């Protein structure tokens, strides 16, 4: 059967936007480390959703599989009904799936964040910011309903023949049909985050430990929770209420009146909880996945560290990463990681390698050395000030840190303090082009030929510079508000446009590519250090460091985030197509898995190559032709309805265009 049963197939030539694709793989924690905000159970499976577009699926609540939703937004809530899953999230995102494998984006008609979705009364209902209420019979077509409020609605249920939505400023709304809503007075004086109905009563929880119960949704009674921490979600199952909050504690009650607190076995905040298949399942920050048969004893479903990782390097045939609580991890391949004993609980901020020695620096003047990255020995730094970075150069090691401190060492073992000439904190130091370069707060930029005598250089910025690297015959520095500076010699610096307001924390170079990482998981790439493009990222966790080795990049950051990726697909050439050529490129379907592309006159040649990319920039198929005709027939894989990019190269000319495939 033909893969295209087309009413129409158009090739629309547009100004192709900058696109670059890097497929990142989670290495720690596992199965992944993005924050999770919603969980449900349906059709024999648990489904959890979160940042950024994360979907996890489990048949037992223990083993979880990561699915790709294709959504870049945070997904806040998920439900099951009418044979399908529906998830909602930021900027009006709504996606549906019948099998948890393929997710389809639906038009919501709103840009407000959608915070909760429920199936009940033979339909779906979603609520969110600014009093947004959306209703749908099938989860596909959505209608906006008038809620009568501009307050954000955080949670919605259908129970006892009515909808109930709760939200900011102690708001409670009820409706029999989702069309007419009535405000109820809870008396909570706190924002409400979750509502449940069980045993003939409604129970709501919210900020500052508030709990209220009601037999009818109209008259509410205050209950004592025993905490001032904010609740995020409450559920009922197995004869008890279980509520989770932002301190990782779990609160249980058999009647909604008397509450008892317990530990969950994690230090991460918990966002959502469900009871199904004979167990409770809760999700939260840094990919937390917990299960419990009774609400008291909890099993953690993720493996690995969730401590912040602050730095990673590749040296002496291995990766070395360091972070909070004295964490040191090593890996020969970037895939399997070994936890090493550092002998300290101080945060470790940076690691460098000399000819025969690794050196790690950290908080309270912590200084460690190792010959192999496995066995570590404490060294005397002579300071209690935090050391944020260390580098090795022709004069030995240089460490920099709090209030402008600079330490030098010939061998990494004995250290001396030298004057930097500044009281500003120095955040990073590197070596290249026969000099050390250090950067720091308030745009501080220093250079030294020997690590002992330092000269201030104008950076042109007052913002914090967090990272500096020397590679490909130039220095590149990055910092707050997306600032990127480049220099050939370390003394004259030029600002370049990064195209982001987010803070950048680290820059690395490998495979002829600069990579910068930073706030909210942002990743930028550049072939020359001057022109930067945003690259796909697998996380919204802050990324604090990136390194290159063995043909791959390794990025580390918040919540133990440890990702690996190759640079495949990055740097695809981008061309701007004149509007006057918009009707020249035509495509038709000849047979299953085969397209015919009618070439414009300027692309006719004895040799033509045609490639198909998905909209993210990843190559799907490519084929070369020897032809003098105006046609090129292209074998393709099965392409579902969607938008793709076609790249054509002929006689040294290149053109790119988008095609919209409509089945």
pLDDT beyond 50 at 294: yes
**In whole angstroms, what is the distance from residue 58 CA to residue 44 CA?**
9
Q: Which long-range contacts (CB under 8 A, 24 or more apart) does 615-620 make?
A: 615/19, 615/642, 615/643, 615/644, 615/645, 615/658, 616/19, 616/21, 616/536, 616/569, 617/19, 617/20, 617/21, 617/569, 617/572, 617/645, 618/21, 618/23, 618/568, 618/569, 619/569, 620/644
Report pLDDT digits (tens) over 156-203: 999 999 999 999 999 999 999 999 999 999 988 899 999 999 999 999
Q: Evaluate if residue 494 carries a pLDDT over 50.
A: yes
Say if 309-565 and 579-662 have the same CATH topology: no
Mean local confidence (pLDDT), 101-116: 96
pLDDT of residue 546: 98
* CA–CA distances in Å: residue 495 to residues 461, 479, 527: 9, 11, 16
Taken as a whole, the chain contains a residue count of: 663
Q: What is the pLDDT of residues 380-415, one digit of tens each?
A: 999 999 999 999 999 999 999 999 999 999 999 999
SS3 73: coil
Number of C-alpha atoms within 13 angstroms, CB side, residue 428?
25
The sign of the torsion formed by the CA atoms of 107, 113, 118, 120 equals: negative
pLDDT greater than 70 at residue 243: yes
In angstroms, what CA-CA distances link 382 with 190, 357, 378, 388?
A: 50, 20, 12, 15
E strand or H helix that includes residue 513:
strand 513-518
Report the CATH fold assignment for 17-24+34-293. Answer: Methylamine Dehydrogenase; Chain H (2.130.10)
What does the pLDDT read at residue 571? 44
Q: What is the pTM of this model?
A: 0.83
pLDDT at 84: 97
A 10 A CB-CB count for 410 gives: 13
Distance CA 478, CA 374 (A): 31
Distance CA 567, CA 550 (A): 12
Query: In DSSP terms, which residues pair with 524 in a beta bridge?
Result: 516, 534
CATH 2.60.40.3080 fits 579-662, yes or no: yes
Calculate ∠ Cα 381-386-388, nearest 5°.
100
Domain spans of the chain, in order of start: 17-24+34-293, 309-565, 579-662
* pLDDT digits 0-9 by tens, 40-79: 999 999 999 999 999 999 999 999 999 989 999 999 999 9
Residue 13 reports pLDDT greater than 50: no
DSSP 208: G
Give me the CATH topology for the region 309-565: Methylamine Dehydrogenase; Chain H (2.130.10)
Is the predicted pLDDT of residue 643 greater than 90, yes or no? Answer: no
Give pLDDT tens digits for 508-553: 999 899 999 999 999 999 999 999 999 988 999 999 999 999 999 9
- Mean pLDDT of all residues in 110-117: 98
DSSP secondary structure string, 566-614? --TTTT----BPPGGGTTT-EEEEEETTEEEEE--GGG--S-EEEEEEE
pLDDT value of residue 644: 67
Choose between 634 and 498: higher pLDDT: 498
Per-residue CA distances from 519 to 266, 387, 526 (Å): 25, 21, 18
Q: What is the average pLDDT score of the chain?
A: 89
Strand order in the sheet with 104-106: 75-81, 84-89, 94-97, 104-106
pLDDT band at 588 (very low <50, low <70, confident <90, very high): low
Among the ranges given (344-353, 475-484, 582-591, 630-639), the one the predictor scored with the smallest mean pLDDT = 582-591
* Cβ neighbourhood burial of 594 (10 Å; 0-12, 13-18, 19+): middle
In percent, the amount of the chain with pLDDT more than 70 equals 83
């Amino acid at each position: 059967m033909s893969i295209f049963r087309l009413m129409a197939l158009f090739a629309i030539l547009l100004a192709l936007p900058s696109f670059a694709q890097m497929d990142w793989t989670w290495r720690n924690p596992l199965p992944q480390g993005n924050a999770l905000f919603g969980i449900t159970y349906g059709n024999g499976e648990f489904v959890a959703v979160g940042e950024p577009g994360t979907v996890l699926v489990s048949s037992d609540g223990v083993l979880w599989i990561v699915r790709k939703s294709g959504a870049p937004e945070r997904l806040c809530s998920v439900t099951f009904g009418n044979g399908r899953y529906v998830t909602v999230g930021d900027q009006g995102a709504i996606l549906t799936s019948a099998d948890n494998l393929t997710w389809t984006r639906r038009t919501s008609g709103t840009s407000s964040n959608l915070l909760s979705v429920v199936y009940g009364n033979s339909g779906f209902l979603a609520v969110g910011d600014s009093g947004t209420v959306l209703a749908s019979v099938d989860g596909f077509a959505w209608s906006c309903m008038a809620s009568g409020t501009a307050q954000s609605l955080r949670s919605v249920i259908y129970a006892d023949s009515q909808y109930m939505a709760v939200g900011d400023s102690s708001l409670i709304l009820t409706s029999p049909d989702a069309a007419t809503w009535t405000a109820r007075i809870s008396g909570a004086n706190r924002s409400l985050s979750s509502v449940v109905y069980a045993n003939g009563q409604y129970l709501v929880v919210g900020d500052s430990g508030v709990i209220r119960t009601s037999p009818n949704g109209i008259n509410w009674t205050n209950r004592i929770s025993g905490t001032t921490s904010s609740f995020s979600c409450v559920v009922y199952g197995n004869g008890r209420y279980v509520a989770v909050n932002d301190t990782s504690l779990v609160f249980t009650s058999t009647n909604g009146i008397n509450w008892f607190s317990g530990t969950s076995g994690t230090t991460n905040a918990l966002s959502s909880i469900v009871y199904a298949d004979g167990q409770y399942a809760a999700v939260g920050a840094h990919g937390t996945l917990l299960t419990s048969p009774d609400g008291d004893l909890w099993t953690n479903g993720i493996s690995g560290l969730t401590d912040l990782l602050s730095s990673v390097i590749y040296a002496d045939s291995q990766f070395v990463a360091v972070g909070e609580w004295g964490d040191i991890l090593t890996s020969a391949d970037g895939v399997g990681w070994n936890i090493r004993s550092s002998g300290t609980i101080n945060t470790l901020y940076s690691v460098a390698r000399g000819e025969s020695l690794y050196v790690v620096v950290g908080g309270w003047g912590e200084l460690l050395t190792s010959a192999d990255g496995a066995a570590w020995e404490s060294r005397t730094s002579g300071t209690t000030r935090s050391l944020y970075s260390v580098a090795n150069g022709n004069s030995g090691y240089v460490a920099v840190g709090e209030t402008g401190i600079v330490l030098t060492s010939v061998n990494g073992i004995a250290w001396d303090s030298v004057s930097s000439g500044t009281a500003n904190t120095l955040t990073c130091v590197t070596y290249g082009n026969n000099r050390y370069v250090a950067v720091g707060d308030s745009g501080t930029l220093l250079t030294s030929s020997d690590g002992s005598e330092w000269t201030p250089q104008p950076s042109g910025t007052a913002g914090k510079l967090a990272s500096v690297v020397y590679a490909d015959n130039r220095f590149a520095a990055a910092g707050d508000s997306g600032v990127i500076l480049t220099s050939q010699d370390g003394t004259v610096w030029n600002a370049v446009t990064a195209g982001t307001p987010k803070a950048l924390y680290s820059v690395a170079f490998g495979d002829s590519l600069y990579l910068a990482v930073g706030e909210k998981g942002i990743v930028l790439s550049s072939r020359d250090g001057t022109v930067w493009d945003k690259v796909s990222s697998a996380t919204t966790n802050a990324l604090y460091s990136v390194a290159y080795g063995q043909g791959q990049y390794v990025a580390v950051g918040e919540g133990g985030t440890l990702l690996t990726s190759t640079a495949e697909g990055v740097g695809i050439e981008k061309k701007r197509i004149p509007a006057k050529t918009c009707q020249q490129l035509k495509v038709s379907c000849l047979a299953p898995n085969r397209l015919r592309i009618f070439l414009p006159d300027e692309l006719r040649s004895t040799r033509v190559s045609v490639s198909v990319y998905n909209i993210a920039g990843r190559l799907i198929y490519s084929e070369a032709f020897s032809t003098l005709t105006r046609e090129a027939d292209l074998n393709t894989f099965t392409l579902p309805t969607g938008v793709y990019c076609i790249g054509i190269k002929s006689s040294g000319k290149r053109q790119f265009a988008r095609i919209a495939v409509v089945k």
